[in-house]
A and B are shown apart, each in its own frame.
Chain A
Amino acid sequence: QVQLVQSGAEVKKPGASVKVSCRSSGYTFTSYDVNWVRQATGQGLEWMGWMNPNSGNTGYAQKFQGRVTMTRNTSISTAYMELSGLTSEDTAVYYCARAPTVPTGHYYYMDVWGKGTTITVSS
Chain B
Amino acid sequence: DIQMTQSPSSLSTSVGDRVTITCRASQSISTYLNWYQQKPGKAPELLIHAASRLQSGVPSRFSGSGSGTDYTLTINSLQPEDVATYYCQQSYSTPYSFGQGTKVDIK
Contacts and interface: CB of A to CB of B under 8 A. Distances in A.
B44 to A, nearest CB: 6
Classify the secondary structure of B's interface with A: loop
B34 A110 contact: yes
Given A107-B91, A109-B49, A109-B91, A45 B96 contact: no
Contact of A45 (B44, B91, B94): B44
Given A109-B49, A111-B55, A61 B95 contact: yes
A62 interface: yes
Interface residues of A, number: 22
B46 A109 contact: yes
Interface in A5-63: 35, 37, 44-47, 50, 59, 61-63
A110 B98 contact: no
B87 A114 contact: no
Given A61-B94, A62-B95, A108-B96, A44 B49 contact: no
A47 B43 contact: no
A56 B32 CA distance: 24
Contact of B101 (A44, A97, A114, A116): A44
A13 B55 CA distance: 40
B55 A108 contact: no
